[in-house]
Structure 1
Amino acid sequence: MRLSRSSKIFCTMLAVCLILSACGGGGGGSASEDGTIITARGVITGFGSIYVNGVRYHTNSARFTVDDNPGTESDLKLGMVVTVTATLNDDNTGNASSIVFDNELQGPVANLVTDADGLIKTFTVLGVTVIADRVGTSFHDTTFDTLVEGDLLEVSGFYDGSLVLNATFIERKESFTPGVSEVELKGTVSNNTSESFLINGVTVNYDPSGIRTDLSRLTGAISDGDLVEVKGSLDENGEIQATRIGHEDDGLDDSISKVSLEGIITGYIDDSNFMISGIAVDASSALFIPSGLTLGNGIKVEAEGPIVNATLQALKIGARGGGNDIEIDAHVSSLSNLDNSITLNLSNGSVTVFVDNRTRMEDKTKAVESLSVSDLGSGDFLEVRGLLDSSNRVILTELRRDNTDDLVLQGPVEDFVTNSSVTILGVTLFTSATTQFEDINDSTISADTFYNGLTVGSLVKIKDEEPGDGTADEVEFED
């Protein structure tokens, strides 16, 4: 299969690893799959050894490749998107033979903007728009609050249909120095000449003789429409002086027995015809998790099945975010290691949430290196994101222990009393004359406008300023 030029940017190391392994990948094994060779691409959600797409992969015999160089497990970090080739065991674990991390982007931050809620930062790196999420992005050697223009960042994550990179991992390398700091960029070649071309509007200059630019990773001459990876330095004119250029493979083996792929849906036509990370997917016969999952552009999912004729024939597809996400910022009132449940207190009530092998857990208090439910205690302040399963349980996708902040509850509205209260996840929070109401664009609206537009099922976020009194300080529609 030949991908369209607009889709090629999504084909990162997954395609390469699939061809090298000539076999499949998985997001969860069973006894009947013991011995199956799998390839899984997704975010690292935990260590010991590593967790990817809900499976613990033992790394004792693994070969590590990090940014095209030999590496070790210690080079891997929470939030990185990796490709794992492994053999499934009968205990729902895997023995990894190869683990590959290849960043999507490295360069200086520009055009940095923070949203009104202080939860999302948007910026550009080498012409690529990047979105960083306070909870959903793992930060290393920097934080959400300390990101500044001019930082040299390495970024991993998933592209959406607008070619916006939704960061799952950001690491600050250093302060950017023009002509010295190494930058990396992947994309589609345009305006190619004998010594330069464009990617995302950024000029890349190279030495066609191969003396100043390593061209050994090219599979042929550079042409418009090629997907390439460029490494080099960014000069004061904003042009890359390439030290290495290589083609990114956009092919897929015609028959791969098992693949697990996490990413954002793009190019959605119907359930039998869409893309995840540039890979064609047919989910028309898939088991949906939860059963009421509705697919569409912008929804983050994990699809699992064989590759047949360059299309992933999904046997299972599960939501990982991008729909009616649950958000809760609150203190722990109780927890259970038996079922990995955590009960969070929200003044007028509580919500019980559940951690599974896919939950990315991070400790911003730095009390422990690798956070687990057993490390949590009553009174800890957590910021969590999750999804409702078929039994209306909140299954967490992200959990972050942090310093105490305002209480937050977001979810679909279950009930409301006009000009009085809103109920979400069984918790009723009241509104008053001092409550600030906002629409989906963060613009202030009146209480009457809010309640006139409110329906059961509306996605709403409520903030109750710490220490919380059960009356909302801010209420806003979410999209």
Structure 2
Amino acid sequence: MTLTNITRILLLSFILTLYGCGGGGSDSNLNADEELPSGLDTDFDGINDDSDTDDDDDGVADTDDACPLDPDGTTDTDGDGICDNADPDFVSPQGQSLSSGVVSAFGSIYINGVKYDTTNAEFVNGNLDELPNAEQDLDVGDVVWVRGTVNDDGVTGVAHTVIYAVDLFGTVGAIDPSTRTITVLGRIVQVNSDTVFGNNFTLSELSDIALGDVLKVSGFDQLNGSLLATRIDKDISTTALLFKVEGMISALDAQAASLNIGSQVINYAGFNSSFTPSLNQWIEVKGSLNDSGILIASSIEIETRQGDFGLSAGDVANQLSPDTSIALEGVISEYSDTTTFAINGYAVKTSTETLYIGGDASDITLGARLSVRGVRSDDGQTLLVNRVYVRAASNLEIEGNITAIDTLAGSVEVDGITVQIESTTQLEDETGAYRKFSIEQLNVGDYIDVSGQFDGAQLIAYRLERDSVDNDIDDYVGNDTLINGETFYTDDDGYLRNEAGDYHVENDGNYSDYQDTDDYQNQNSTDHSGLRLEGIATDISQTSLTLYGNVIALTASTFFELNDRLVTLSAFTSAASASPYVSVQAAQLADGTFQALKVELEHVGGNSSSSGDDSNDGDQLSAFDFVIKGTIASIDSDGISLSNGYNLLFDASSLYETYDLVSQSQFITDANGLINPTVEIKARRNSADQLVVLKVELESSDSRSDDDSQNSSEREFEGFGSIDNTGVTMQSIRIEFIASTYFELFDHQVEKAVFLSSVSGSDKFEVKTRLNSNGDYEALKIELDD
């Protein structure tokens, strides 16, 4: 502000004080229709204000100036009589923004480092039709578009519309472990360390994909037309599927009404449209596969890459103002020079004014992953970039338990390495405790897997995953097995390779993997040289036990477990009854005898209560052969089918449990009212080799247990906790017991006093809760997590 302007304001303040304007406050405005003192010349231009059309000489006529006596202000947005430039309550209006990138976290939704509030947002698919489950249809790793506004701080905003369109949906036709690629509907999909694998994968690795699997893939378009996968999910539904593929037409036979995207043959003869295909045209096709593997098109759209949601013409783009701020994450798919290139097929141009963060112009290379911000060019075809965020390739992955947390700094420590969590870090909680997952939910001792860029001082986390245990492919890397007399070893991706590096391929075309090794079989089945059995043990002593006629030796190296705690042999045997129900992992020695690796005491209790007219009273649950967990595909009074392929029968002795034992009809009603309900089933095989349900327990569902749901107050906690007479504290959250809390020990209901006397703070619990009207958690049911 110039000295002249300061003099004007001081003089104006003096005059306003004399005339009582502003009431002694800091208001320095005078409305244009108020009468000014005769002879006042605010801008010293020789024209009295009562005759001057621009009293403050700011170039804005008094009739259009909300602050006619303030040369540094012309607007009063909130109409409170204080110019915006002096108003402490003023918040500048935000222009439109459009952002495309990977979902890195929820709460509400994080895209390109910006936390968007989605309270009033509309969630739609690529056709702008409403997503049935709104935000619940999204997962970390999905690529989405967000229309809304970004606040002045640059890291928060408000989402108006969130657009999610899966990039590829179809069957796996080829797998190439050497290049870490798969082919889905003829399109090559690239997998890297940042790819998120969905919940239906065993160990979240490429080797868990088999030929014929149906996959949904989200990702970024690359130079050669392939897709860099940011997330892959298996589809296990049994209903007829409408597949989707998009890409460039690589072959065309107009006479046969046939074209190719990659190696996928597409027939469009039955597609009723004026569609005229041409080579190298980018199209999106939806349809179904016939018995010959040809995709019969039901719809075809000509489009720019990644849809018409941003730079190109389209329904959404037409609603954007020319000054809309656009953020785009992806890989460089075309390259002219460091100033002219394309991201995901969109033209991008930098200038001498462009600011580089995390790198410089030399990092602009084909295949590089970037996030850029800018505005559209006048013709709407190019993104004029003012900022480039460089993301160097991941160079380090660490796994381990957290030893320290600095919430303010946004960092944790693992194995002596500082892990920096950024607003762009992809955060996944595989324990299932949180959907809205952030550093605030991490605890010292949590097991995490982190990948990112190590700069010599700290690891910048690109992806952080919390899991309940160290259970991943590393457990099997290096394990060997003999196949036709040749030794094969498990590699880092889980595939079997010989010493020459050659892969072993099965007769069906699939590559052999870690699940074919002896070690995996010994740990996960009763086949090969190992033994894994559950049942009633007889003749138990300090040196052996007998299970199904097998004498299994107990040695100094045998682990004994009771209530998820390792105990001594003497403590184990003293806690065991005369005929204890045990779970045994054993190894078969060269002489044919068995030696116990681990023995776990199980409890098969009874239930003294039941409800409903279809329930069965009984105080003893018969011995079960095994436990099955899965998502219900179908259920009726005859039995239950799970999405993982198991089909089980109900009989007169089957028990049904939600938060308490219920009738069969009530259980079926409750299950059908949930989205993707998960169950745990204790089952046995009958004489006809059929699976029969002894007990089925409703575990959770998307609609009831998701912490991000705004329509439900129920939630499930699982883990270690501190327990007392009034409640339990888990993950720093207090859960109070109420009069109706259901206490369960070893599959039967007990009194609270009995439960508390049988557990300790080192036990692991599973608690189903609800929020009361005060926002506090109340325990509906608590049980030992065995």
In structure 1, the partner of 2:460 is: 395
In structure 2, the partner of 1:53 is: 112
Alignment counterpart, residue 382 of structure 1, candidates 431, 438, 448 = 448
The question of whether the paired residues in 2 share the 8 Å contact of 1:82 and 1:100 is answered with yes
Q: For 1:73 and 1:267, how far apart are their aligned partners in 2?
A: 33
Deviations 1:354-413 (A, max 9, x none): 112111011223333332112222232222122357x954321111123326999xxxxx
- CA deviation after TM superposition for structure 1 residue 319, in Å: 2.1
What secondary structure is seen at the aligned counterpart in 2 of 1:242? strand
2:211 corresponds to 1:149: yes
- The AA in structure 1 aligned to 2:182 is F
Q: For 2:92 and 2:225, how far apart are their aligned partners in 1?
A: 36
CA pair 201-111 structure 1, distance change in 2 beyond 3 A: closer
The question of whether the paired residues in 1 share the 8 Å contact of 2:194 and 2:462 is answered with no
Q: For 1:200 and 1:39, how far apart are their aligned partners in 2?
A: 31
1:15-414 pair list within 5 angstroms: 34-68=93-127, 69-71=129-131, 72-91=134-153, 92-114=155-177, 121-133=180-192, 136-143=195-202, 144-145=204-205, 146-174=208-236, 180-189=240-249, 190-193=251-254, 195-207=257-269, 210=272, 215=273, 221-249=276-304, 252=312, 255-285=322-352, 286-291=354-359, 294-308=363-377, 309=379, 310-322=381-393, 325-345=395-415, 350-387=416-453, 393-402=458-467, 403-404=469-470
Q: For 1:443 and 1:262, how far apart are their aligned partners in 2?
A: 39
- CA deviation after TM superposition for structure 1 residue 55, in Å: 0.6
- The AA in structure 2 aligned to 1:245 is I
Q: For 2:125 and 2:473, how far apart are their aligned partners in 1?
A: 39
- CA deviation after TM superposition for structure 1 residue 58, in Å: 1.4
Q: For 2:367 and 2:280, how far apart are their aligned partners in 1?
A: 25
What secondary structure is seen at the aligned counterpart in 1 of 2:152? coil
The question of whether the paired residues in 1 share the 8 Å contact of 2:271 and 2:297 is answered with no
User: In percent, how many aligned pairs have the same letter?
Assistant: 30
Q: For 2:194 and 2:280, how far apart are their aligned partners in 1?
A: 36
Q: For 1:395 and 1:315, how far apart are their aligned partners in 2?
A: 24
Q: For 1:319 and 1:138, how far apart are their aligned partners in 2?
A: 24
- The AA in structure 2 aligned to 1:147 is I
In structure 1, the partner of 2:47 is: none
RMSD: 3.2
Please identify, of 81-90 and 280-289, the stretch whose mean Cα deviation from structure 2 is larger.
280-289
Q: For 2:246 and 2:254, how far apart are their aligned partners in 1?
A: 18
Deviations 1:32-76 (A, max 9, x none): 985121000000111111110011111223222125332122212
What secondary structure is seen at the aligned counterpart in 2 of 1:358? strand
Q: For 2:452 and 2:271, how far apart are their aligned partners in 1?
A: 52
CA pair 406-185 structure 1, distance change in 2 beyond 3 A: closer
Which of 1 and 2 has higher RCO (CA within 8 Å, sep 6+)? 1
- CA deviation after TM superposition for structure 1 residue 169, in Å: 1.4
- The AA in structure 2 aligned to 1:376 is L
Q: For 2:92 and 2:325, how far apart are their aligned partners in 1?
A: 10
What secondary structure is seen at the aligned counterpart in 1 of 2:409? coil
Q: For 1:54 and 1:282, how far apart are their aligned partners in 2?
A: 22
- The AA in structure 1 aligned to 2:258 is S
Please identify, of 163-172 and 77-86, the stretch whose mean Cα deviation from structure 2 is larger.
163-172
Q: For 1:74 and 1:325, how far apart are their aligned partners in 2?
A: 32
Whichever of the two has the greater Rg, that structure is 2
The question of whether the paired residues in 1 share the 8 Å contact of 2:107 and 2:437 is answered with no
The question of whether the paired residues in 2 share the 8 Å contact of 1:135 and 1:384 is answered with no
- The AA in structure 2 aligned to 1:47 is F
Name the structure with the higher strand share: 1
- The AA in structure 1 aligned to 2:390 is A
User: Any unmatched runs of 5+ in structure 2?
Assistant: 1-89, 306-310, 475-490, 492-496, 501-786
In structure 2, the partner of 1:429 is: none
The question of whether the paired residues in 1 share the 8 Å contact of 2:187 and 2:264 is answered with no
Aligned length: 364
Q: For 2:280 and 2:177, how far apart are their aligned partners in 1?
A: 34
- CA deviation after TM superposition for structure 1 residue 78, in Å: 1.4
The question of whether the paired residues in 2 share the 8 Å contact of 1:271 and 1:284 is answered with no
Please identify, of 376-385 and 252-261, the stretch whose mean Cα deviation from structure 2 is larger.
252-261
Deviations 1:140-174 (A, max 9, x none): 43352443222111100112223332211112112
- CA deviation after TM superposition for structure 1 residue 317, in Å: 0.9
